[in-house]
Each structure stands twice: as C-alpha cells, then as structure tokens.
Amino acid sequence: MAGLLAATPALAGDFDLSKLNDGGIVLLLRHVKAGGVDSDDFDLKDCRTQREVGGPGRAQAAVLAQRFKVAGISAARVLTSQWCRARQTAELLGLGPVTDEPALNYYHWKLGSEAAMTEALKRFFIDLKAPTPGAPLVLVSHTTAFGLIGVDAPQSGGGLVLRPNGTATPEVVGVISAPE
C-alpha cells in the first residue's frame, strides 16, 4: 500500500486540502470507482442491489484518506448521498461519522421525479453554509451534483472546492484530482 500512496500524490495544481481547516469552503467529491450495475429493483438500504466500491475504488479512497492526513485533516463533517458507492467512499475517507444527505443522491426514477430531485439539490446548495474555521465539510455525491453547478464532473474520486454563496451554483475555488 505504501507504494500505491507514494505513486499517486496530489497533482501540482490541486487545491491545498489543509485550507479546508480555514473555513469558508467545502469539498465536493465524486464517489470513487465502483463496479457492477444497479439492479432495476435496487434498494438504497441494500448494497447488494447497487454498484459497490471494489478494489480499485478502495485504493482510490486510501489515497484520498492519505491526502487528508498529510494536509492535517483528521476529522470533518461528512455528508453523503445514500447510494452505497457514495456512502462507502465517505466511510473509507476515515474522517469520522458519515451523515446521509438525500439531496446529494443520484437521479433515479424510483426515487422521484428528476425535477423534484434537481430542486432538492438546488435548495441544498442555496442553503449550504460556509463552515467555520476548524470544522471542514466534505460532501460525497455523483455526477449530477457537478452538472447542477454547471461544471463537468471529475473522474471518480475527484472533486471541487466550493465557496457557498447563497445560490445553487457555489463558486468553484479549487480542484482535487482523482487518484489513478
């Protein structure tokens, strides 16, 4: 594992994660790589019916966890989509308890209309408050969250650093590259 961690550092252009401790900004991560397929009769409470984080995704999460550690972040408030691949990513970061946030869920007709889910995600971003110094906030979601704020989604395991601004499109202030 040490070789893996050393071989996949943050890129030179990546945002300095230690600045999450300064407050005022939030990290939005796309879940790490997940294998399999979502069953047509999936259940959010049953990971066997969904794509799950496997070996490659666990390796990505280990790299991300190491990046947080190197940045001096050992704990954060972590909000996640209820989908297993996002929840597993959030838990593997090792930053503390993980809280489900349905607004961060991936769109699926079984969960409601796309319009209603988009509105919930917009409202989430509008209501999102900048964290105070020493209280980092990490959000784990899917491509849909990035699309809503008008940017291309990063590769699995990548993310954006956002400054909440009371709108559905927080200001993008940095990028976190996806581990290979």
Span 150-158, average pLDDT: 96
**pLDDT at residue number 111:** 80
pLDDT (tens digit per residue) in 64-119: 999 999 999 999 999 999 999 999 999 999 999 999 999 999 988 778 888 999 99
Backbone angles phi, psi at 109, to 5 degrees: -55, -30
Span 130-143, average pLDDT: 96
**pLDDT at residue number 79:** 98
Cβ-based neighbours of 124, under 8 Å, separated by 6 or more: 101, 103, 104
* Percent of the chain scoring above 70 in pLDDT: 93
Backbone angles phi, psi at 173, to 5 degrees: -115, -5
**pLDDT at residue number 24:** 97
Span 8-14, average pLDDT: 64
Between 6 and 57, name the one with better pLDDT: 57
**pLDDT at residue number 10:** 58
Give alpha helix (H) positions in the chain.
2-7, 55-70, 84-92, 114-127, 143-148
**pLDDT at residue number 113:** 86
Q: Is the pLDDT of residue 3 over 60?
A: no
Q: Is the pLDDT of residue 139 over 90?
A: yes
Q: Is the pLDDT of residue 9 over 70?
A: no
Query: DSSP label at 110?
Result: G
How sure is the predictor about 34, in pLDDT bands with cuts at 50, 70 and 90? very high
Q: pTM of this prediction?
A: 0.92
Q: Is the pLDDT of residue 6 over 70?
A: no
**pLDDT at residue number 148:** 93
How sure is the predictor about 132, in pLDDT bands with cuts at 50, 70 and 90? very high
